[in-house]
Amino acid sequence: MRVDVVTIFPDYLAPLQLSLVGKAREAGLIDVAVHDLREWATDRHRTVDDTPYGGGAGMVMKPDVWGAALDTITVKPGEGKGAADARPHLVVPTPAGEPFTQARAAELSADSWLIFACGRYEGIDARVVADARTRMRVSELSIGDYVLNGGEVAALVMIEAIVRLIPGVIGNPESLAEESHGPDGLLEYPVYTKPPSWRGQDVPEILLSGHHAKVARWRRDEALRLTARRRPDLLARLGDDALDARDREV
């Protein structure tokens, strides 16, 4: 997968060199390029924003600068560094976007080329997304119902969630099946490691029993209880056949 990030703060994306994403880069599973939007500004001050039409507080990011940046980055395959069969998918982080979920992360992990457009100030002139839609897929996505200062942190969140789903990035793919927001639609059960007793708290005995079926049942029960308590909306969203009679007793 190729990942391009366009931002006025390239240093903000430094964590992409660390941990799992950094290792995926080293292993050649992803190719990341971070671009400074100001490279496409044309004036002496490298201006990327201007006052909003209609008045009001704040500044809006200029369409001409964003247009030039996206045109350069998405040069036709063969002319640039994109793989010949890669088609760009533009991801625009915005608090006004559709919710970014595990399901969206899974969809995006199958793309061969993602471009993240990090907004600042009051956001990017709306014509940039409209123009990009004529040439490529565009997803406007929100990472939650709150407002950040810029799209960089949102891009980092999405890239991490997406990249860990690319085959080969996580050593044991089974760990992806058994986690919150996974195929069963539940939150994950509580987890424990050694020592068996710590500060007066004991690990639930069943986990020390070596009885796989009982451990699996305990984990399912705990996952159901936790989801009912913290996220009843997730339980309500499960299909009719997602819970069996035993699950309903919990």
150 annotated ligand-binding residue = no
Q: Cα separation of 34 and 37, whole Å?
A: 9
- Least Å distance, CB 3 to ligand SAM, is 16
- Least Å distance, CB 95 to ligand SAM, is 4
Residues 6+ apart with CB under 8 A from 225: 250
- Least Å distance, CB 35 to ligand SAM, is 15
- 235 is written with which tokens? 């339980």
Q: Which is nearer to ligand SAM, 82 or 93 (CB)?
A: 93
- Least Å distance, CB 62 to ligand SAM, is 13
70 annotated ligand-binding residue = no
Q: Which is nearer to ligand SAM, 71 or 98 (CB)?
A: 98
Helix count and strand count (H, E) for the chain: 9, 9
Cβ atoms of residues 61 and 126 within 8 Å:
no
Q: Which is nearer to ligand SAM, 31 or 122 (CB)?
A: 122
| Of 58, 111, 108, 68, nearest in space to 87 by CA | 111
Return the percent helix, strand and coil in the chain, to nearest 5.
40, 15, 40
Q: Which is nearer to ligand SAM, 88 or 119 (CB)?
A: 119
Tell me the residue number closest to ligand SAM, measured at CB. Answer: 119
- Least Å distance, CB 1 to ligand SAM, is 21
Q: Cα separation of 235 and 202, whole Å?
A: 29
Q: Which is nearer to ligand SAM, 94 or 227 (CB)?
A: 94
Q: Rule CB under 6 A: which residues touch ligand SAM?
A: 93-96, 118-120, 122-123, 142-144, 146-151, 154
146 annotated ligand-binding residue = yes
| Of 144, 163, 157, nearest in space to 106 by CA | 163
Tell me whether the omega of the peptide bond preceding residue 195 falls within 30 degrees of 0, making it cis: yes
147 annotated ligand-binding residue = yes
User: Which residues belong to the annotated binding site for S-adenosyl-L-methionine?
Assistant: 119, 143-148
User: Which residues belong to the annotated binding site?
Assistant: 119, 143-148
